[in-house]
Amino acid sequence: MHAPSAAAFAVIVGMLTTSTAMAIEEPGFQVLENDGSFELREYAPYIVAETRVEASFQDAGSIAFQRLFRYISGNNVAQQKIAMTAPVTQSRGEKIAMTAPVSQVADGRAFLVAFTLPSTYTLATAPKPLDTTIQIREVPAQVIACWRYSGRWTVANYRQKEALLRERIKARGLVADGDAVLARYNSPFTPWFLRRNEVLIPVAPLAKR
């Protein structure tokens, strides 16, 4: 079982469980529709530090967290510390290239886990990671269908909420335009019933429907 270091957890707990938690920066968006747990949002472009992990759904986040936390803690060419933001996102990665070992290709267990960088950074100014498994990329402006929920970070919980979101997308006449993403906003020490989690699915822009 992989887990972030005690120091890393301590920092996250300090930021996400204090009275200043709401001050943590998130990607900017405009709410287009709101109906209970469902929201339709229009996001502006933003920059992420992203890494690809071959592991189970629940282990992938922990493994990736260690890499990404080291990056924002100064493991970059500029040796620059970067403010923590929310959420941490996790999505299914592409299958491994045919040049990879056959067992890994057949397994196909890969996830992309990302930290959003503060809005002051661009592709040109974001510190270059020393860890070559981390990539800096820009997430383009997009319309996102969202399902908000609390609870544990289990596969069953996530899949159930993903199914509800896909039903709502279909009922509203929207068209999914990308893979589902799990967004987590709290530390692992936050009680499960207080956690803010979201399933995010890109949908075709309004002008294209």
Which residue type sits at 86? Answer: A
Query: Cα–Cα distance between 61 and 141 in angstroms, integer?
Result: 25
SS (H, E, C) 45-68: CEEEEEEEECCCHHHHHHHHHHHH
The per-residue pLDDT for range 1-18, each reduced to its tens digit, is 344 444 443 334 343 333
Residue 94 CB neighbour total at 10 angstroms: 10
pLDDT on residue 23 = 54
- Spans in the chain with pLDDT lower than 50: 1-22, 94-108, 209
Fold adopted by 6-208: Multidrug-efflux Transporter 1 Regulator Bmrr; Chain A (3.20.80)
Helix (H) or strand (E) holding 137: strand 134-139
- Ordered by start, the domain boundaries in the chain are 6-208
Number of helices (H) and strands (E) in the chain: give both, helices first. 4, 9
pLDDT on residue 58 = 78
